[in-house]
Every structure is written in C-alpha cells, then in structure tokens.
Copies of this chain bind each other. A is one copy, B any other.
Amino acid sequence: MTAAAVPAPPAPLTHAQRDAPRDESAYGRLRSMIASGELAAGSWLREANLAERIGVSRTPIREALSRLAAEGLVELSRNKGAQVVDFSPEDVAGLYDVRAGFEPHAVLLSVPNLTDEDVVELAALSARMEAVVANGGDMEGLSALNAAFHGIFIERCGNRHVATALQAVMRPAVVAHTFRKYSGEALRRSMQHHAELVAAAEARDGEWAEAVMRTHILAARNAAGANPSTR
C-alpha cells in the first residue's frame, strides 16, 4: 500500500470505541448479545421476540438488524428473517488472514504519526487489559479494550479508509469468541504482544511494531484453532 499523505482526519471513531462499554440502543444491545453468544450463531432472530426482550418496538429492532446485516454479523432473508452468521473455522481463519495482510502495514505507517498522548493511551490500554486478565475474566470487556488498542494504530495510519476496510474484518463477535478460546498461556502471550507494541511505539520503531503486530495476529489465528496445518 502506498502511504497516503492525508492530514490526520477528524478522528472517525470506530464502532467498537464509540459504543463499547454500554450502548443502550437496540443496535448496541443486539450486537453485544451476539458477541456474548446469548444469540447463538445460526439461530433465527424473531423481530417480535427481540423487541420484547429488549423492551422496544419492532421498528428499532429492524433498523438494528439491517445495520448488523450491512456489517456482516447477521444475514437477512427476505420475508424469512435474520439469522446470526455462523463463522466456520475456515471463516475465522480467513478473517485473520486478511488482518495479517493488512494491519501490520497500517501499524508501520501509523507509528511515525503517533503523538505522545497516543503512546500514553496505548500503554494505559495495555495495562488495563493485563489487569482484566489478572482478575481472570470479562472477555467482552477485554474485547472492547482490545478494539480500542488496535483502533489507535489504525486511526493514526494516515488513511481513514484503512479503518473502514479493517472494520469489516474485525468482527467483535469473532474477536470475543477468540478470546474465550484462548488458553491461559495464549492469553498471556497476547498481552505480552500488546506490551511489546507499546515499547515499539515508544521507540517510534515502525518496523518493529509491524513485525510484532504480524506475530500478534498470526498467534491469534492459531489460538482460534485455525492454524494452517489443521485445515
């Protein structure tokens, strides 16, 4: 990818950041229900049922479903309804393959653009994630922090459309699911990658950060049970 000398855009917040912790909208509620597995993959989503569970009418449910469909989290069948997309191991592998091919380069571009405040925030997010892991749980919260961490690099790469493209393959549901499948060791290693990314960012060493990010994503692909040898 050629470096686009786009002057830092007006901070297009990612979905994961904008409505990460508590989004009371029907869209946010549904998304978190999918991410948590409360709505199982492959299951049919009945609008009336969801409306009652969330406590709104069908109208906002329908808008949320169409938005989720555009993001690829659910699949709509005309006059038949929506179902949560079921990610096969091959699908998950494909998602991480795209990220592995894309995100490290975005990191390479972004490191020179990072402000001191960015680095401080990266360090803080890394520390918070380690704390969550130490307290042993809340994989959904961890997933949100992780999205914010990665989002900083992506937003600073100088091309806001990189975020657009990557968002399509950073499905919260899949990431949360991956975290849940992590072994204790894999989880600790993942946190170490974050710490090393912070170190590379502090050193403003883009190539180092690029390499760490590639490692990080390929390790995640493996932890998701989708390493090349098994498929």
List the interface of chain A (C-beta within 8 A of B). 1-7, 59, 62-63, 66-67, 69-72, 90-91, 93-95, 97-98, 100-102, 105, 159-162, 164-169, 218, 228, 231
Contact = CB atoms under 8 A, between A and B. Distances in A.
A98 B165 contact: yes
B1 A97 contact: yes
A139 to B, nearest CB: 22
A164 B101 CA distance: 14
Contact of A97 (B4, B66, B72): B4
30 contacts: A1-B100, A1-B102, A2-B101, A3-B97, A4-B94, A5-B228, A5-B231, A6-B90, A7-B90, A59-B59, A66-B67, A66-B70, A67-B67, A67-B69, A91-B160, A91-B161, A94-B161, A94-B162, A97-B161, A98-B161, A98-B162, A98-B165, A101-B105, A102-B102, A102-B165, A164-B169, A165-B165, A165-B166, A165-B168, A168-B168
A156 B159 CA distance: 27
A7 B105 CA distance: 27
Nearest to A163: B168
A152 to B, nearest CB: 18
Pick the most buried of A72, A95, A164: most chain B CB atoms within 10 A of its CB: A164
A176 to B, nearest CB: 17
Contact of A164 (B67, B90, B160, B168): B168
A188 to B, nearest CB: 24
Contacts of A93: 4, 6
A164 B166 CA distance: 9
A95 B162 CA distance: 8
A27 to B, nearest CB: 9
A97 B6 CA distance: 11
A220 to B, nearest CB: 13
Nearest to A75: B12
B165 A2 contact: no
B70 A71 contact: yes
Top 6 A-B residue pairs of the complex, sorted by shortest distance between their CB atoms: A1-B101, A70-B70, A94-B159, A94-B161, A4-B97, A4-B94
